[in-house]
Chain A
Amino acid sequence: MQFKIESFFNPHLSVGADRIDAVLTVTAMPREGPSLDVHASGRAIAFVIDRSGSMQGDRRIEAAKHAARICINLLDEAAQFCVIAFNHEARVLVPLSAATRQNKERAHREIQRLSGDGGTVFSAALLATREQLLKLDGGIRYALFLTDGENDPKDQADLRRAVDRCKGLFQCDGRGVGSDWTKADLTFIANTLLGNADIIPSADMMEVAFREAIAAALAKGVADVHLRLWSPKTVTIATIKQVSPEIIDLGPLKIRKDEKTIEVPTGAWAEESRDYHLTLTFAAGEIGDEMLACRPSVVYESDGKEVVVAGAAPVIATWTSDATLATRISPQVAHYTGQQELADSIREGLAARERGDIDQATKLLGNAAKIAASSGNDEVTRRLKHVVDIVDAPQGTVRLKTAVSKADELVLDMGGTRTVKRKAS
């Protein structure tokens, strides 16, 4: 795998301006010639399945068992896997082992025996998963975490500690089946562990959801990629967000390396492209001054050696009295400002709907429908339709649906931060 970094921004600032916005596009593509770094040190996949009493309802436990068994059969022998079932305690059904026929057989037998009872304690499940996945030295470690319920309120402090202990060691996607789980907990786990969180609205969608998550995990080729940002001491990195494929504030994840360098963990990469939005602040310069604000690079390990992809994409600021130059907005920055507005409109629109402010909710979700349509964000449009009828997308005219289930609401709530890349004009 090789990486390419591009930066997009308007370098021209007006007199007195003390900030610059830039979009960084990082693209991973196959290396020319033989590729050695692709999961050379292996891949470990954990299935973490809630088996609390509530999973017995709506055929959830059957669907989870079925989906896990289907996915285990998709693994090739080079991969390792483990299965953890949890309620108020965690049980390792299959310890980390190679995906051979015998081990798969064993998994089929163990999984099929599962039935639901007991409570829900996430911390126990995560720590057991950590212990299994760490048996793989290096490589790509991934967990698919399924729950249908709220974490035990007494576990909240332990959950924070457990997630902290897992941070940087494995990636974890969170899936909530039904609508009785808590968005905050699942999102916290997934975001901290560099995965995504989403709803599986009903048990019959479990198999497809599992297949998609596992397919994405198996596509990853390089583990532990970091975005490294170097800035002069006089420059502050005010915000750093991933803006594509989904908006995630990376601020809480950033690691200061020295007084000029921060690093942001981005997890494992497949052949893909992700965009980041940086806001840099500094003291305003004089007209004609030209200043380097940030040198971005990508860092990862290959065969135990650190690889740095520097790329010639520095973010530069220069001050000008030419208003036409300074008022331009980079189309990439403008695009993601729009996608952010889309996500905000959905969040605020759902909140307004929740407190019964129908007018405000209609206005905000209408604005969301308009931005989603004009930017070609079909995924968000699809999710919006769970909550509103779109009457006229370009005008932003929508009607709130009257019968909206909790699951429909979560479909929109969990997906409102999905973005699309800017269409080439």
Chain B
Amino acid sequence: MQRICPKGHVSTDQDYCSECGARLDGAASAITPATAIAPEELAAAAGGEPCPVCGTPRVVGARFCEVCRYDFQTATAPGASSTPAPPQETLTESAADVQPEQSEHPTPKATPAPASTPSAMVPQRWDVIIAVDPSLNKNPDPAQPCPQKAPERTFPLDLDENLVGRRSDKKDIHPEIMVVDPGISRRHLSIRRRDDGGLVAIELGSTNGTSLNAAPLEPGIPTPLNDGDQLTLGCWTRMTIRAR
């Protein structure tokens, strides 16, 4: 149905003119309480809420009173000592071991492979978690201090061969798993995947050697790795094997 608006246009809409927007005769106004500004918001916008200490109206959004520094957020009078912050909980070694660093990152809703497939059919996938463990640093060298609070790093083990070592541009060595630790050789350790998906570690004859669950690895001998196994190497590096 077409209507004629107060300004003489033909409108295809029933409430406001489809040509000029003018409200049509008899149409209800769309200015409703919902559109209008709520009174309490207006009060705030006008700088309402007087300061309980000195009575000065609060500046919109301001935390403190402009005049006497009253804190509106915590409702504390100026000069009052704020409550001391609760002591920070220190994480023990074991609690800090695996997860907390991970959980800080938003993890996308990605699900691992469907559990319905029998595990025997699907080769296991692995990650290695690299941590700085200062307790491994038996003979600290002041020239090369152990990094404090270095975050754990997770490396995927999705290649057939993963070299663990130090990068060297000069010798063109670019390990898949690059570790910053002065006690680690450029070619230190190789983590390889067997055809059945299992992992083995091969110590490559590094200067300072590698231990698997505290037992030294013999150079050149492939040693199977299992979920949770710990490799320690260099001055302070602890690597944990994890199935995913």
Contacts and interface: CB of A to CB of B under 8 A. Distances in A.
Contacts of B15: 292
Nearest to B9: A232
Contacts of B169: 56
B44 interface: yes
B190 to A, nearest CB: 14
B44 A373 contact: no
A348 interface: no
A316 B36 CA distance: 10
Contacts of B154: 70
Given A7-B35, A328-B45, A233 B19 contact: yes
A330 interface: yes
A232 B18 contact: yes
- Using C-beta atoms within 8 Å of the partner chain, give the interface range for chain B: 35 or more
B63 A316 contact: no
A211 B20 contact: no
Given A292-B16, A314-B16, A334-B60, A232 B21 contact: yes
B155 A66 contact: yes
A57 B177 CA distance: 17
The interface size bin for chain A is 35 or more
Interface in B64-122: 64, 105-111, 113, 122
B176 A374 contact: no
B42 interface: yes
B44 A425 contact: yes
B41 A331 contact: yes
A85 interface: no
Interface stretch (B22-30, B134-142, B200-208, B209-217): B22-30
A374 B62 contact: yes
12 contacts: A56-B169, A70-B156, A74-B108, A74-B110, A77-B113, A115-B174, A218-B108, A232-B17, A282-B21, A289-B23, A292-B21, A316-B35
Given A11-B31, A373-B63, 14 more contacts: A70-B156, A73-B244, A74-B110, A75-B110, A76-B111, A108-B158, A109-B159, A219-B109, A292-B30, A314-B30, A316-B16, A316-B31, A334-B45, A423-B61
Interface of B: 15-23, 29-31, 35-37, 40-42, 44-45, 59-64, 105-111, 113, 122, 125, 153-156, 158-159, 167, 169, 174, 176, 178, 244
Query: 3 tightest A-B contacts by CB?
Result: A292-B16, A232-B21, A292-B21
